[in-house]
A and B are shown apart, each in its own frame.
Chain A
């Protein structure tokens, strides 16, 4: 085996703003429409068409869902029995990209989308900007600038690709971009033929997929999140927040302190070692606001903080702060919301 760096193509050869749409029989995630929106926002600056690369065993259905939002669709039908993970999709994406040479390929920063583009980047000899929070067209340089954060949101990097390296690959963070608008026209659909070697399929197999139906919304997609921290004191107290979340029609989050204490599962964790969220409203209850937690939620439009300690750092980022006992305030708020709903 030889480990080699693939040779990319150049800016002059490249044409088209693509958005990866994975079609494995699941709904197209909201963040994919946001990636399409990000592509639309820079399309006129670049003077390029917005296209979807629809990839998977359910490509026909997924294609019809995204066609209203794009100028064209490159459709790759993968074998229907396919249960293998990213490498198959990555090899297929690589072939479609090499055939049609887009200048940009965006994807939603989902678990699958991030792993897929990170696998594709070396195969194409290009780079990848994960978790973009901003995408802009620099008129002076005639080039795109990709922005992302490091150090728990403390530093923003603005990133460029050399003209010799295309496509520009990036994943976009959920809720960072406005969803795409319908074009009003009809999309051209181009079928892409690919050939996959058998050994590619054998690498890893998804034996089982377990969806944990919690009856509540996914954190990343929720417009409203009610989150609890150390101030809750015990696992039962999360019931109080669950009721508030239900009254608000939101999802339930938690700080690392609450997760580490074993009061609530890891999948609810917001922050540097958990999920990054950007809801319209984030209600932080009994959360002091350590920088690692703020990293995961400070781009929420409105932050409501309920905390006993007036010195808690969470109040520095809060839009509305209530200094008080969450066990008093949260049930009152739930009651008031339920009263208004009636």
Chain B
């Protein structure tokens, strides 16, 4: 299947090299915890590309279709993460690289970012790194900025759109609490995107069939950093389920009566 890709994108014909960082996550967020080990029970749950990362991947593919780009999907995880990377190939990534950290997978965002940075360096000649805003089981958006810090690239988080993309810089719109900023950012850079940026496509059956046959190169932690010292700078002590909210009061009567009761309750609660 390599040949098919080569036919479409000849050596050197793409404009830039775009790396998309993907994380494989469980398909559902309704995760249970094993009472004896305290670990998450994810056996038998299908892995998918972290929903936020699908926007980063889609944006990379759109850059490829527009300006022309060579898109590399990159993931830190274990062997199972090849599924997410094959999905990325099916959707239009040209290449995929897995960092198989196995048991040594860092427990924190900067640790993951360190491995990604080493892998980006290994991939080489990268112009743009795209990330999702955060992972559903991740660190609340640490990886993108931390990756930029390791690579010494400029970075922009919460990007909702590219205004322009040139060889040495891009101009993006970045969401913040009460509006947006227009940020001009030198390349190479790390850009973390939000959902508003695009609507991800679905993989075609043909794409999936082709991707299934692709071999994905695997880098180990020792390939990248020499030794496998503990890369985590924090430690998860416990994982637990939040207390479940119990159902409250259903207000009876006609709409006018329901409203009157509600107003009384809210006044008694001292919120009105």
Binding site for B on A (CB under 8 A): 1, 3, 5, 8, 29, 85-87, 90, 109-112, 114-116, 118-123, 125-131, 145, 148-162, 165, 171, 202-212, 218, 220, 223-224, 266-267, 272-274, 280-281, 291-292, 295, 298, 301-304, 310, 315-325, 328-329, 332-333, 336-337, 340
Contact B149 A151 (CB under 8 A): no
CA gap between A258 and B10 in the complex, in Å: 43
Contact B183 A206 (CB under 8 A): yes
CA gap between A318 and B262 in the complex, in Å: 12
CA gap between A153 and B245 in the complex, in Å: 12
**B48 touches A (CB below 8 Å):** no
Q: Which of B51, B117, B142 contacts A130 (CB 8 A)?
A: B142
Dominant secondary structure of chain B at its interface with chain A = mixed
Contact A202 B186 (CB under 8 A): yes
With a CB–CB cut-off of 8 A, which chain A residues contact B259? 322, 329, 332-333, 336
Q: Shortest Cβ distance from B49 into chain A, in angstroms? A: 14
Q: Which of A109, A209, A317 contacts B179 (CB 8 A)?
A: A209
Dominant secondary structure of chain A at its interface with chain B = mixed
With a CB–CB cut-off of 8 A, which chain A residues contact B171? 207
The residue in chain A whose Cβ has the minimal distance to the Cβ of B242 is A156
With a CB–CB cut-off of 8 A, which chain B residues contact A328? 255
Number of interface residues of B (CB under 8 A): 88
CA gap between A120 and B145 in the complex, in Å: 9
Contact A126 B152 (CB under 8 A): no
With a CB–CB cut-off of 8 A, which chain A residues contact B160? 266
Q: Shortest Cβ distance from B142 into chain A, in angstroms? A: 4
Q: A111-B175, A333-B263 are in contact. Are A210 and B181 (CB under 8 A)?
A: yes
With a CB–CB cut-off of 8 A, which chain A residues contact B114? 3, 5, 122
**B130 touches A (CB below 8 Å):** no
The residue in chain B whose Cβ has the minimal distance to the Cβ of A294 is B245
Q: A131-B140, A162-B235 are in contact. Are A156 and B240 (CB under 8 A)?
A: yes
Contact A206 B182 (CB under 8 A): yes
